[in-house]
Amino acid sequence: MAASIQVTVPATGNKISVPTGLFINNQFVPSVDSQETIECVNPATEEPIGSVVAGSVKDIDVAVAAAREAFKTTWGKNVTGIERGRLLNKLADLMERDAQVLGELECLNNGKPLKIARDFDVGDSVACLRYYAGWADKIVGQSIEIDSKTKFAFTKHDPIGVCAQIIPWNYPINMWAWKVAPALACGCTIVMKPSEFTPLTALKLSELIVEAGFPPGVVNTIPSLGSVGGAALSSHKDVDKIAFTGSTVTGRKIMAAAAMSNLKKVSLELGGKSPHLVFESADLDQAANWVALGILYNTGQDCTAGSRVYVQDTIYDKFLQILIGKAKELVIGDGFDEKSGGGPVVSKVQYDKVWSYIESGKQEGAKLALGGVKRSGKGYFVDPTIFTDITPEMKIVKEEIFGPVLSVGKFSTEEEAIRLANDTTYGLGAGLHSMIVSAHTFKQVWVNQYNLLYNNVPFGGKKQSGIGRELGSHALEEYTSVKAIQWNFGEKLDWPL
Amino acid sequence: MPQTFTYVFDTPVYKGTSSFSTGIFINGKFQDGSEGGYIDVINPTNGKVITKVSEGTAKDVDVAVEAAQKAFDTVWGLNCPGFERGKLLYKLSELMTAHADEFAALEALDNGKTFGWARKADIEAAIGSIRYYAGWADKIQGNTIETTKDKIAYTTHEPLGVVGQIIPWNFPLMMISWKLGPALAAGNTVILKPSEFTPLTALLMAQLTVEAGFPPGVVNIINGYGTTVGHALSHHMHVEKVAFTGSTLIGRKVLEAASKTNLKDVSLELGGKSPNIIFDDCDIEQAVNWTVHGIFWNHGQACCAGSRIFVHEKIYDDFLHRFTEKTKSLKIGDPFAADSYQGPQVSQQQYDRIMSYIDSGKEAGATVHLGGSRWGNEGYFIEPTIFTETKPDMRIVQEEIFGPVGVVIKFHDDDDVIRQANDTVYGLASAIFTKNIDRALKTSQRLRAGTTWINCANQLHAQIPFGGFKQSGIGRELGEYALQHYTAVKAVHINLGHEI
C-alpha cells in the first residue's frame, strides 16, 4: 500500500498526510507477513477515510524486539532524567504547534467536535506531557538507616522495561498522552497499540516522536485488532508490563494472559457506571449542569460518564425538569459544524450497542423522559436520552452503555443514596452534589462538580473498574520497579553460624 | 530615566552586542533609585569602570514589598495554579537558553571568570535550575492523614508570601536561578538583591522575566548595598522570609535582624573550609585533577572549595609533585582568551583580602610551595598558590580565604584525619578519594558536612540538595528540599461528626 494517505478535511478542504505503515524503530514499515489493513471511517458521514496497515503477531514480535534493544542501549538506564524531560517538553512543543492538524484528524476519525478536540483533547495532552517532563529528573528513591556504622541501604526506582500500551477510541490523543508520558518519563520503552477504530492520530503523533529526537525503538506504534495485536502483547514473554484502557471484559483477558505468560505487571483502566447523588441542599441549576456534562460530554463515551443519577425525593421533580432542559440545549452533530457540542458515537458497532440498550430500557419498563427516537440519514448520531422510573435490576442501570443515555432514580435518606450508588460491580467515579459533607466509597469523587480531570490528580478505579492509577505522581509507580541495595561496609560475617 | 547599557563584545570567544536597562527593577519596570544614586561596575581585569547602575535603597525596598505583596494577593500565590507558574518558569529557561552566550560574556566581563567556564558551568547550571523548578511548580503536594472516622485531615504546602533574597558575586546568574527557581515554583513573590560587585546578568535576567510573561511585582530586582537594601530586606516587617548566600559574618546579621523584627524565616548558605581527604589507595591521577578543580575552580571563589587538602603520607610526595605540576599548567589571563583557565579575582577588596591571607601564611612560617604573588601588572589576578608545612592553628588553615590558595596537609591515621577534617566551625562540603568502598562509605558517614563528594569534587546538580552543617548555614538549596524553605505547612481538620 502507499506509504501515506492524504486525508481531506471536509469543512476546509485541507489535506493532512498520515503515514500508513507500522511505526517501528522510528520508521514506518509494512507488515512482515500480512496484507491485512484497517479501514478508518468518518462516523459523522459513514464514509471511509483511508486504510492503514494492520499489525500481525509477527509484527508485534519485531516491535517488542526493537523496544527491548532501545531499552538496553539508548534508553532505560542509558539516558538521564534530564534528557527524558527535555525530549518530553520538545514533544509537547511540537504537539502544541500542530494542535489544529491533530484536532482535525481526531474530529474526522472519532467524531468529536473540532474545537473540543483541539482545545481540550490536544490541549490537555500537551499539558500532560509537560507535567511528566517535569517528573523525569525527580524520580527519587530512599536512603534508609539500618546501622550507620556498618551498613548503608537505599532504593532505586528503576524503569520497568518494555511496556505494552493498549488504548481506546474515545480520547485517542489524550489516552496516548496519558500512557506515553509517564512511561517515557520513567525510562521505559513502549509498544503502543492504538484502537483499530482510531489509529490515525497515533500514527501522526509517531512522526512527532521522530521530530522531537527520541531514539529509534523508544516508542513503537502498531495499529492492530485487539484479538491479534492486543492478545499478542498480553501474552508476550518479553513485555515487562501492560497498561490497558478499555472494557472490563477485555481487561479480564489481558490479566489472564499476563498470568499465563510471564506474570508481566498489569494496570487496567476499565469501565464504570458512575452515579451522581443530588441532595436537596445542592445548587440545583449547577448540579444539573454537571450532571448534563457527566453524561453528555464526549457523547457519553467516557469511562467516568455519570450514567446514573439519584435525586433526593424532595427536589426530584424540580431537578428533573431543569436537567431535561439542559440536555435539550446540547447540539449533537458533525464535529466540523461550529454549533455541535457533541458528535456521533464512534462506530456502527457502538451505535448498535447503544441502541440495543435504549430498546432494553423501554422493554424493561423504564420511562423515557427525553430521546429514544432514531434519526434518519447518515452518521452514528444518538441524541441525549433520559430514562426515569428505573429499578436496580434493569440492564440500563447495571451495565455500562457508553453513550448519551442517563438513568434517573430517587432516594430519601443519605444511607439509601449511598447504598444505591455503591450497588455496582464498578467503582470509578461519583459525583456528590450537596452543601453538606459526607464520606463515600468511590475512588474518584467529585464534589459539586463532575468529570474534570487534572494531570496532577491521580485517576483510576476501585473494584472492577480497574487496577492501578494514571495521572499524578502515582502513575510513576506503574512504570518503575523498586530495587533495594544494601551496602555492607563494616560487618564481617562469622561462619559457621 | 535609567540608562541603557550597551556593550559590544568583540573577542576571540564571543562576538555580539548586549543591551539592557541599568535601572532597579520593581513592579515590572526599570526605574532610577529613589535617592538617585549609582554604583560603578568595575572590570576586574583592569580596575576600570565598565558602566554604572542605579542604586536602590531602603525606600525602594518598601515600594517593592508593596508591589510584591499586591502581586501575591492578586495574581500570584494561591491565585495562580502551579502549572501556570511552571509554564512561565519553563518559558524563562527557554529565553535564558536563547541568550546563553550573551549571559556568559556578561558574566566574564563583570565577574572576571573565563567565558568558557561561565558558559559551560554557570549558565548551564542556571538554565538547568530554572527548568528543574519549572517541573516542580504543579507538584507541591501535602498529605492526607488518617486519625479517626470523624475527621478528614490534610496538609497544604502554601507559599510564604513576599520573600527577600540576597546573593553573592561569585556565581551571579547561577545564584539568581538557585534562588528564583524554588521561590517562584512554590508561589512566592520575590525581591532579590544582587551583589553590588556583579549586577549585570541580574539586569538582563530581569528583562527576560518580563518577556517570559511574569506578572508585574512577582519578580523584583534591586541593585544596592548590603548595608542599605540587604539591611532593609532582613529587617522588613512584611517580608516573610529572607534567603542569604554569602559570608558567615553577614549571615549572622541577617539572622539577628530576623529575630529582632518579625521572626521571618531565614535560610543561609555561608562559608566553608572544606576538607579534601586523599587516601593512599586512590586513583592518584584522578585525585590530582579533582583536587585542582576543588580549589582552583572559579579562582577559589566557591563556598564549597576543597581548600584543606589532606594527603596520606604514603603518597604525599608523589601527589604533591603531580598536583604542583598540574597547577602550574593552569593558564591565567584574559577571560575572553580561548585557552584561559583563570581570570582575575572579582574586586580590589577580595584581592587585598586574599593577599593578606597569603602574607599571614608566610609570616606564620608555612611554606609557599607554589605561587603566593600577584599575577600581571593590572587587574586583580593572583597566582594559584599552594601552601605546605602548615600548623592547624594557622589562619590559612582555619579561615576561609576565598581565593586560589590551597593548603596541603600530610596525614597517616584515618581516625586522626577525620578528626582534623571535622575540626572547624564550618561544615559545607567534603571530598574523599579512595578506591576502597568500605573506606569511602565509612569516612563519608563520619564527616560532618552537607555534601560528601566521593572521588569527585565541586559537583552541583539542580536535582541534589546543597547546604551546610554547623556555621556553614541553615537549610538546603536545590533538589526537592529547597521547596521546604519556600512553603509553610497548613493543617486542615474537617469534622465529619464529632459533636461536643
DSSP secondary structure code for residue B462 in this structure:
T
Residue of A88, A90, A124, A138 best to disrupt the B interface, most CBs of B under 10 A: A138
Location of each CATH 3.40.605.10 domain in chain A: 4-270+465-483
pLDDT of residue A431: 84
Structural domains in chain B?
Answer: 4-270+474-489 (3.40.605.10), 275-461 (3.40.309.10)
Half-sphere exposure of A176 toward its Cβ, with a 13 Å CA cutoff? 34
Give me the percent of chain B exceeding a pLDDT of 90.
Answer: 97
* Secondary structure element (H or E) that encloses residue B326, with its range: helix B316-328
Output the nine-digit C-alpha cell for A116: 473540543
Per-residue pLDDT, A437? 54
B468: buried, middle or exposed (CB in 10 Å: 19+, 13-18, 0-12)? buried
**Which residues of chain B have a CB within 8 Å of the CB of A456?**
82-83, 138-139
In this prediction, residue B267 has a pLDDT band, given cuts at 50, 70 and 90, of very high
Which three three-digit cell numbers place residue B441?
562509605
Q: Give me the sheet containing A306-312, strands edge to edge.
A: A367-370, A385-388, A405-411, A306-312, A274-278, A429-433, A444-447
- Buried b / exposed e over B331-362, threshold 16 CB at 10 Å, is ebbbbbbeebbbbbbbbeebbeebbebbeebe
- Any idea which residue has 499524578 for its cell? A472
Check CB contact of B464 with chain A, cutoff 8 Å.
no
**What SS3 state is found at B316?**
helix
Q: Is A451 left (phi over 0), alpha (psi -120 to 50) or beta?
A: left
Q: Given A138, A439, A487, which is nearest B135 (Cβ)?
A: A138
Helix segments in B238-296, DSSP class H: 248-260, 284-296
User: How does pLDDT run along chain A (497 residues), one tens digit per residue?
Assistant: 789 999 999 888 889 999 999 999 999 999 999 999 999 999 999 999 999 999 999 999 999 999 999 999 999 999 999 999 999 999 999 999 999 999 999 999 999 999 999 999 999 999 999 999 999 999 999 999 888 888 889 999 999 999 999 999 999 999 999 999 999 999 999 999 999 999 999 999 999 999 999 999 999 999 999 999 999 999 999 999 999 999 999 999 999 999 999 999 999 999 999 999 999 999 999 999 999 999 999 999 999 999 999 999 999 999 999 999 999 999 999 999 999 999 999 999 999 999 999 999 999 999 999 999 999 999 999 999 999 999 999 999 999 999 999 999 999 998 899 899 988 888 888 888 887 655 444 556 777 777 788 898 888 888 888 888 899 999 999 999 999 998 888 888 899 88
- Class of domain A275-447 (CATH, top level): alpha beta
SS3 B12: coil
**In sequence order, what are the beta bridge partners of A159?**
A480
| Average pLDDT of the residues of chain B | 97
Whole-number Å distance between alpha carbons of A266 and A475 = 13
* Interface touch A138/B82, C-beta < 8 Å: no
Give the three-class secondary structure for B439. helix
Fold of A4-270+465-483: Aldehyde Dehydrogenase; Chain A, domain 1 (3.40.605)
Task: Compute the half-sphere exposure of residue B66: CA atoms within 13 Å on the CB side of its CA.
Answer: 5
Is position B285 annotated as part of the catalytic site?
A: no
Cross-chain residue pair B139–A489, CB shorter than 8 Å = no
In this predicted structure, the answer to whether residue B13 has a pLDDT above a threshold of 90 is yes
Which of B132, B139, B462 shows the shortest C-beta gap to A473?
B139
Structural contact between residues A408 and A388, judged by C-beta atoms closer than 8 angstroms: yes
Copy the grid coordinates of residue B206.
Answer: 530581569
Residue intervals of chain A classified under CATH 3.40.309.10 are 275-447
pLDDT at A90: 98
Rounded CA separation A20/A41 (Å): 15
Nearest by Cα to A279 from A416, A453, A405, A444? A416
Q: Check B83 against A127: CB less than 8 A apart.
A: yes
Segments in B429-471 forming alpha helices (H): 437-446
Q: Which of A80, A145, A85, A487 is nearest to B454 (CA)?
A: A487
Q: How far apart are CA B139 and CA A21, in angstroms?
A: 38
- Answer whether residue B343 shows pLDDT above 90: yes
CB-side neighbour CA atoms (13 Å) of B288? 17
Instruction: List own/partner pairs for A210-214 with CB under 8 A and 24 or more apart.
Output: A210/A26, A211/A94, A212/A87, A212/A90, A212/A91, A212/A94, A213/A87, A213/A90, A214/A26, A214/A87, A214/A91, A214/A184
Q: Which residue among B132, B139, B437 places its CB closest to the CB of A456?
A: B139
Q: How many CB pairs under 8 A join A and B?
A: 59
Question: Is A486 touching B (CB cutoff 8 A)?
Answer: no
Count CB neighbours of B36 within 10 A: 9
Q: Which of A136, A138, A489 sits opposite B438 (nearest CB)?
A: A489
Q: How many DSSP H helices and E strands does chain A contain?
A: 15, 22
B137 CB neighbours in chain A (<8 A) are 134
Q: Residue A444: its pLDDT value, please?
A: 61
Asked whether A273 and A294 are in contact (CB, 8 A), the reply is no
pLDDT at A441: 44
Q: How far apart are the C-alpha atoms of A247 and A295, rounded to whole Å?
A: 18
Tell me, yes or no, if B94 comes closer than 8 A to chain A by beta carbon: no
Q: How far B492 CA sits from the closest chain A CA (Å)? A: 15
Residues in chain B with CB shorter than 8 Å from the CB of A89 are: 90
**Polymer length of chain B:** 500
Does B83 sit within 8 Å of A131, measured CB to CB?
Answer: yes
Separation CA A343–CA A404 (nearest Å): 11
The residue among B463, B174, B150 whose CA lies nearest residue B297 is: B174
Whose CA is closest to A18, among A214, A198, A168?
A198
pLDDT for B162-184, tens place per residue?
999 999 999 999 999 999 999 99
What distance in Å separates the CA atoms of residue B355 and residue A150, rounded to the nearest whole number?
45
Cα separation, A280 vs A267, whole angstroms: 38
Cis link prior to A496 (omega < 30° from 0)?
yes
- Across the interface, whether the CB atoms of A487 and B496 are under 8 A apart is answered no
Measured distance CA(B125)–CA(B181) in Å, rounded: 12
pLDDT band (50, 70, 90) for residue B273: very high
The H or E element spanning position B454 is strand B451-454
Query: Which of B196, B269, B383, B400 is an active site residue?
Result: B269
pLDDT value at residue A457? 87
Task: Give me the pLDDT at residue A436, please.
Answer: 64
| Cβ-Cβ contacts under 8 Å, A149 against chain B | 442, 445
Q: Which three cell numbers stand for residue A7?
A: 486525508
Chain A interface includes B148 (CB < 8 A): no
Spatial distance between the Cα atoms of B426 and B442, rounded to a whole number of angstroms: 20
Catalytic residues of A: 269
Q: How far is CA A440 from CA A35, A275, A313, A421, in A?
A: 52, 12, 20, 9
Best of B84, B124, B131, B148 to mutate (most A CBs within 10 Å, chain A): B131
- How crowded is the C-beta side of B149, counted as CA atoms within 13 Å? 3
Q: What is the pLDDT of residues B221-263, one digit of tens each?
A: 999 999 999 999 999 999 999 999 999 999 999 999 999 999 9
Whether B138 sits inside 8 A of A455 (CB atoms) is yes
Question: What are the grid coordinates assigned to A359, written together?
Answer: 430498546
Other Cβ atoms closer than 10 A to B243: 28
Of how many residues is chain A composed?
497
